């Protein structure tokens, strides 16, 4: 198995607040790796750094063999990022949004058309895909954004709270889609504070709190280690 | 290039939305209808003015006076009423705006060199352009009557001499000197022409800079508010493309908007360039060489172009500071101020007569240069224009580098303008 992501001693400060205090982890090809922790634990900051949005204060990040500081453009070509509070252009139609984003990733128009076709399937919005995004519900926007993130079949998909704002049925569908894409070769780094979701979805998990990774392993390993029935219990015991 | 065009197309579509198109069409039609109204009023003003006249004297002098008014392009309505009161009533009902009453004994008073009194009644029925213009008619009527009477006096007393030569014994010839050229003509004409040229172009410039800057700031702020910026920044696009496409699209749409406003304004004003006082080339202006040569147009275009670019680059940086669309509105203020200061200063005072610190201030503001360039180009004074262009290019380069640097770092997401307590402003990085 190849290493898709290497994070070593990653630190980030916002003024006097230290959001990340030197976290380290690695993700292998075809894995679903989850960062779990409460709000403000540093999950989104870590994901935003890996997605090339924020620059680290200290530490090293290597994505698919490319150094984050030196070659962020090469990383951007190979990853996709779904922010927790993302939006789409309200004046664009859903289909226009997918076409717009596909053009940035596709080397030629035919490939872009393939991406859009795939995105249309993932979004599963039917005729509503031809309506303006401004008329969509929060759940519909989220599905459109997830479709955008997965349609290019990225080597690494960084998904921050992927089912945020979705109802139970939609959340189940999204989890299913993520699993299918992993089977087709996409590696996933996700964050969530919904620990039940993580337990269902992830191959490996890192518990993060106050900018520090407390522990990591498969959900089963962690449950055994902490003699817990679920990841919520694991987290509670790890924090102690 | 495909990615750049994709981004540019999206930016233009975002800006050129239905709301903007409707508001532009509305403005255009508003100006058009206002123009029609104003034109109608102007035509009324230009038509011969109707003056009601009551001659209670009946002397030959009084009749001559009435004839004098007729020949001075007034449409006379002679009333046959017996008294002043009846004439006022009649004029009030007829819709005339001016009534002249020549009292009995008028002719005799004129013949004996006393100052006879005539009474004029001005009827105010509204405050439209034509009615306010009609108040000037009163002065013209008095002037025409005085002219007629004084000429009559002089003809009687000094026969054989043209009364005009006696009334205006002094003749003068006006010359205007511009650089090495001396030409005969009215200085007022030249000054009016220069003023009109340096007013029209700055209005366009002011509109373009303010509109375009507002659009750039709003475009960046909207990306932040709608949470689309983060996604865009993680796409495989050169981040400079994001900066450039925002500037370019706003510049293009700003240009279009300003153009439409100017067409509307032109319709409204209607008379742009028709009268010599409002900017038409007169012989003296032409002879003095105060015309835009192709070279002059080129330099003015370059000057305007760089001023717009400076505005757009500054707007991109200010847009980054905006938290949302609401805060973006207030961030246009610094640019508006920077445009208005040179606009008013160059309009109401001569740059060369300003104090040294004020000159430095005006020079330091990049938007001042096209304002100053118009007059300098007309006066063939090119060095200040070139220095201005060079200065604006430098400012633009610095601002673009700064904007590109902000967009290529995480400051684009973390920089915010904060209104702290006690009203102090600060930038949080």
- Provide the pairing of β-strand A187-192 with A156-160: parallel
End-to-end C-alpha distance for chain B, whole angstroms: 32
Q: C-alpha angle with apex B348: B347 to B353, nearest 5 degrees?
A: 105
**Residues B191, B318 within the same domain:** yes
- Domain C-terminal end among B133, B167, B201: B167
How many angstroms separate the CA of residue B16 from the nearest CA in chain A?
A: 11
How many angstroms separate the CA of residue A219 from the nearest CA in chain B?
A: 30
- Evaluate whether B133 touches B174 at the Cβ level (below 8 Å): no
A 12-71 near B (Cβ less than 8 A): 14, 48, 51-55
Closest Cβ opposite residue A55 in set B3, B230, B410:
B410
Element (H, E) at A80: strand A79-82
Chain A contact set for B235 (CB, 8 A): 76, 101, 104-105
- Domain C-terminal end among B102, B135, B167: B167
- CA dist., res. B112 & res. B291, Å (int): 56
**Residues B325, B414 within the same domain:** yes
Closest to B219 measured CA to CA, from B199, B194, B249, B239: B249
How many angstroms separate the CA of residue B32 from the nearest CA in chain A?
A: 31
Closest-CA residue of B relative to A76 is B236
Q: Which residue has the tokens 């080597």?
A: A155
**Residues B32, B55 within the same domain:** no
End-to-end C-alpha distance for chain A, whole angstroms: 34
Q: Is A238 on the interface with B (CB under 8 A)?
A: no
The answer to whether residue B33 sits within a structural domain is: yes
* Beta partners for residue A58, in sequence order: A11
Residue B329 reports pLDDT greater than 50: yes
Closest-CA residue of B relative to A97 is B10
Phi-psi region of B270 (alpha: psi -120 to 50; beta: other; left: phi over 0): left
Q: C-alpha angle with apex B287: B281 to B293, nearest 5 degrees?
A: 70
pLDDT, residue B14, reads: 82
pLDDT, tens only, B215-239 = 888 888 888 888 898 899 999 998 8
Q: Which two tokens stand for residue A234?
A: 């694991």
Closest Cβ opposite residue B3 in set A14, A103, A148:
A103
Chain centroid to Cα B191, Å, comes to: 15
Q: Which two tokens stand for residue B293?
A: 């040569």
Closest to A8 measured CA to CA, from A38, A36, A50: A50
Strands (E), B133-274: 175-178, 181-184
Q: Which residue has the tokens 């038409």?
A: B280
Give the 3-state DSSP-derived string for A14-36, with helices as H, strands as E and coil as C.
ECCEEEEEEEEEEEECCCEEEEE
- Provide the pairing of β-strand A3-14 with A58-63: antiparallel
Closest to B78 measured CA to CA, from B93, B59, B56: B56
pLDDT, tens only, A52-94 = 999 899 999 999 999 999 999 999 999 999 998 888 998 899 9
**Residues B387, B274 within the same domain:** yes
**Residues B91, B158 within the same domain:** yes
Q: Which residue has the tokens 């009533």?
A: B89
The answer to whether residue B108 sits within a structural domain is: yes
Q: Is B20 exposed, middle or buried (0-12, 13-18, 19+ CB in 10 A)?
A: middle
How many residues in total does chain A contain?
Answer: 240
Q: Is A73 on the interface with B (CB under 8 A)?
A: yes
- Evaluate whether B202 touches B370 at the Cβ level (below 8 Å): yes
How many angstroms separate the CA of residue B422 from the nearest CA in chain A?
A: 22
**Residues B250, B155 within the same domain:** no
- Evaluate whether B250 touches B158 at the Cβ level (below 8 Å): no
pLDDT band, residue B276 (cuts 50/70/90): very low
pLDDT, residue B422, reads: 42
pLDDT band, residue A31 (cuts 50/70/90): very high
Residue A237 reports pLDDT greater than 90: no
The answer to whether residue B139 sits within a structural domain is: yes
Q: What is the CA radius of gyration of chain B?
A: 31
Q: C-alpha angle with apex B120: B116 to B122, nearest 5 degrees?
A: 165
pLDDT, tens only, A131-176 = 999 999 888 898 999 999 999 999 999 999 888 878 888 888 888 8
Q: Do residue A55 and residue B413 have CB atoms under 8 angstroms apart?
A: no
Residue B423 reports pLDDT greater than 50: no
Q: Do residue A89 and residue B226 have CB atoms under 8 angstroms apart?
A: yes
- Evaluate whether A189 touches A47 at the Cβ level (below 8 Å): yes
Strands (E), B298-419: 416-419
Phi, psi of B97 (to 5 degrees): -100, -10
Burial B104-142 (b: 16+ CB within 10 A, else e): eebbebbeeeeebebeebebeeeeeebbeebeebbeebe
pLDDT, residue B281, reads: 56
Q: B49 or B173: whose pLDDT is higher? A: B173
Average pLDDT for residues B26-45, to the nearest whole number? Answer: 76
Chain centroid to Cα A143, Å, comes to: 14
Q: Is A150 on the interface with B (CB under 8 A)?
A: no
pLDDT band, residue A28 (cuts 50/70/90): very high
Chain B contact set for A88 (CB, 8 A): 226, 228
pLDDT exceeding 70 applies to what percent of chain A?
A: 100
- CATH number, domain of B129, equals 3.40.1710.10
Q: Which two tokens stand for residue A53?
A: 């949005």
**Residues B75, B127 within the same domain:** yes
Q: Do residue A104 and residue B233 have CB atoms under 8 angstroms apart?
A: no
Closest Cβ opposite residue B409 in set A55, A79, A87:
A55
Residue B182 reports pLDDT greater than 50: yes
**Residues B294, B349 within the same domain:** yes
* Beta partners for residue B101, in sequence order: B54, B119
Q: Do residue A104 and residue B226 have CB atoms under 8 angstroms apart?
A: no
> B55-59, B100-104, B207-211 — which is least confidently predicted?
B207-211
pLDDT, residue B223, reads: 86
Q: How many domains does chain B divide into?
A: 2
Class of domain A3-84+155-239 (CATH, top level): alpha beta
Chain A contact set for B6 (CB, 8 A): 100, 103-104
Closest to A202 measured CA to CA, from A224, A175, A181, A227: A175
pLDDT band, residue B267 (cuts 50/70/90): low
Q: Do residue A81 and residue B6 have CB atoms under 8 angstroms apart?
A: no
> A108-117, B13-22, B402-411 — which is least confidently predicted?
B13-22
- CA dist., res. B89 & res. B51, Å (int): 15
**Residues B12, B93 within the same domain:** no
The answer to whether residue B173 sits within a structural domain is: no
Chain B contact set for A83 (CB, 8 A): 227, 230-231
Q: C-alpha angle with apex A71: B416 to B243, nearest 5 degrees?
A: 40
Closest-CA residue of B relative to A103 is B3
Closest Cβ opposite residue A81 in set B2, B226, B234:
B234
Q: Do residue B236 and residue A87 have CB atoms under 8 angstroms apart?
A: no
* Beta partners for residue B73, in sequence order: none
How many angstroms separate the CA of residue B239 from the nearest CA in chain A?
A: 10
pLDDT, tens only, B113-143 = 777 888 888 887 766 655 665 566 667 777 8
Q: A206 or B187: whose pLDDT is higher? A: A206
Alpha-carbon distances, residue B72 vs A240, B65, B134, B137, B151 (angstroms): 105, 11, 15, 11, 14
pLDDT exceeding 90 applies to what percent of chain B?
A: 7
- CA dist., res. B79 & res. A116, Å (int): 86
Task: Give me the residue spans of the domains in chain A.
Answer: 3-84+155-239
- In this prediction the ipTM stands at 0.90
Closest-CA residue of A relative to B8 is A100
- Provide the pairing of β-strand A187-192 with B425-428: unpaired
pTM of the model: 0.72
Chain A contact set for B414 (CB, 8 A): 14, 54
User: Which residues are within 8 A (CB) of B23 and not within 5 positions of it... i.e. 6 or more apart?
Assistant: none
Diameter over CA atoms, chain B: 99
- Evaluate whether B249 touches B8 at the Cβ level (below 8 Å): yes
Q: Which two tokens stand for residue B121?
A: 């009644």
Closest Cβ opposite residue A104 in set B13, B14, B237:
B237
- Substitution target from A87, A90, A189 for chain B, most B beta carbons within 10 A: A87
pLDDT band, residue B74 (cuts 50/70/90): confident
Q: Is A79 on the interface with B (CB under 8 A)?
A: yes
Chain centroid to Cα A29, Å, comes to: 15
- CA dist., res. A52 & res. A77, Å (int): 11
Closest Cβ opposite residue B236 in set A82, A105, A145:
A105
* Cα-based torsion angle of the residue sequence A207, A213, A217, A222 in order, rounded to the nearest 10 degrees: -50
DSSP letters spanning A118-163: HHHHHH--GGGGGSBGGG--HHHHHHHHHHHHHTT--SEEEEESTT
Closest-CA residue of A relative to B15 is A91
pLDDT, tens only, A205-230 = 999 988 999 899 999 999 998 898 88
How many angstroms separate the CA of residue A121 from the nearest CA in chain B?
A: 21
- Evaluate whether B347 touches B368 at the Cβ level (below 8 Å): no
**Residues B121, B211 within the same domain:** no
Q: Which residues of B touch A (CB under 8 A)?
A: 2-3, 6, 10, 13-14, 17, 226-228, 230-231, 233-238, 409-410, 413-414
**Residues B119, B255 within the same domain:** no
**Residues B248, B354 within the same domain:** yes
Q: What is the CA radius of gyration of chain A?
A: 18
pLDDT, residue A233, reads: 87
Average pLDDT for residues B3-9, to the nearest whole number? Answer: 90
pLDDT, residue B132, reads: 60
pLDDT, residue B421, reads: 41
The answer to whether residue B201 sits within a structural domain is: yes
Phi, psi of B270 (to 5 degrees): 65, -45
Closest Cβ opposite residue B3 in set A80, A86, A104:
A104
pLDDT, residue A157, reads: 94
The number of CA neighbours under 13 Å toward the Cβ of A216 is 16
Range of the domain at B123: 48-167
């Amino acid at each position: 198995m190849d290493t898709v992501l290497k994070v070593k001693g990653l630190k980030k400060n916002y003024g006097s607040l230290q959001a990340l205090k030197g976290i380290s982890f690695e993700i292998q090809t075809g894995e679903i790796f989850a960062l779990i922790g409460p709000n403000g634990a540093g999950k989104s900051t870590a994901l935003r750094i890996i997605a090339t949005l924020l620059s680290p204060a200290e530490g090293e990040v290597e994505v698919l063999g490319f150094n984050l500081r030196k070659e962020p453009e090469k990383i951007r070509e190979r990853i996709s990022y779904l922010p927790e509070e993302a939006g789409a252009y309200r004046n664009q139609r859903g289909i226009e949004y997918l076409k717009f984003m596909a053009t940035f990733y596709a080397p030629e128009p035919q490939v872009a058309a393939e991406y859009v076709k795939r995105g249309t399937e993932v979004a599963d919005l039917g005729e509503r895909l031809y309506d303006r995004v401004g008329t969509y519900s929060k759940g519909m926007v989220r599905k459109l954004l997830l479709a955008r993130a997965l349609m290019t079949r990225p080597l690494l998909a960084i998904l921050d709270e992927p089912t945020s704002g979705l109802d139970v049925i939609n959340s189940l569908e999204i989890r299913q889609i993520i699993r299918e894409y992993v089977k087709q070769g996409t590696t996933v780094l996700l964050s969530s504070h919904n620990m039940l979701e993580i337990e269902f979805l992830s191959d490996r998990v890192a518990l993060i709190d106050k900018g520090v990774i407390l522990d990591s392993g498969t959900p089963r390993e962690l449950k055994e280690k902490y003699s817990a029935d679920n990841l919520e219990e694991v987290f509670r015991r790890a924090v102690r | 290039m495909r990615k750049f065009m994709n981004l540019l197309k999206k930016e233009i579509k975002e800006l050129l939305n239905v709301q903007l198109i409707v508001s532009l069409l509305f403005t255009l039609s508003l100006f058009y209808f206002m123009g029609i109204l104003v034109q109608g009023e102007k035509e009324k003003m230009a038509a011969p003015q109707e003056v009601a006249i009551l001659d209670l004297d009946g002397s030959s002098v009084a009749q001559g006076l009435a004839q004098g008014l007729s020949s001075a392009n007034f449409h006379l309505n002679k009333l046959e009423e017996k008294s002043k009161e009846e004439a006022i009533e009649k004029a009030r009902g007829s819709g005339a705006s001016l009534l002249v009453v020549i009292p009995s004994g008028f002719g005799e008073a004129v013949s004996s060199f006393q100052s006879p009194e005539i009474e004029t009644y001005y009827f105010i029925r509204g405050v439209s352009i034509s009615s306010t213009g009609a108040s000037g008619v009163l002065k013209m009527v008095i002037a025409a009557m005085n002219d007629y009477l004084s000429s009559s006096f002089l003809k009687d007393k000094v026969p054989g001499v043209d009364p005009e030569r006696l009334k205006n014994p002094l003749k003068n010839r006006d010359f205007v000197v511009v650089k090495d050229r001396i030409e005969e003509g009215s200085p007022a004409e030249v000054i009016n022409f220069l003023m009109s040229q340096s007013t029209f172009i700055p209005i366009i410039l002011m509109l373009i800079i303010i509109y375009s800057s507002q659009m750039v700031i709003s475009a960046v702020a909207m990306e932040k508010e709608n949470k689309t910026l983060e996604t865009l920044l993680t796409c495989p696009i050169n981040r400079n493309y994001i900066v450039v496409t925002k500037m370019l699209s706003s510049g293009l749409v700003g240009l279009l908007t300003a153009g439409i406003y100017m067409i509307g304004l032109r319709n409204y004003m209607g008379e742009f360039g028709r009268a010599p006082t409002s900017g038409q080339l007169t012989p003296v202006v032409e002879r003095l060489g105060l015309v835009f040569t192709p070279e002059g147009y080129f330099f003015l275009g370059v000057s305007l172009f760089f001023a717009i670019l400076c505005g757009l680059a500054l707007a991109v940086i200010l847009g980054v500071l905006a938290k949302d669309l609401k805060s973006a509105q207030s961030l246009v203020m610094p640019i508006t101020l920077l445009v208005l200061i040179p606009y008013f200063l160059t309009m109401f005072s001569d740059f060369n007569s300003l104090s040294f610190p004020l000159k430095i201030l005006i020079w330091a503001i990049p938007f001042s240069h096209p304002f100053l360039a118009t007059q300098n180009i007309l006066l063939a004074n090119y060095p200040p224009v070139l220095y201005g262009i060079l200065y604006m290019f430098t400012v633009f380069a610095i601002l673009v580098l700064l904007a590109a640097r902000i967009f290529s770092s995480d400051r684009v997401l973390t920089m915010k303008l904060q209104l702290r307590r006690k009203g102090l402003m600060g930038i949080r990085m």
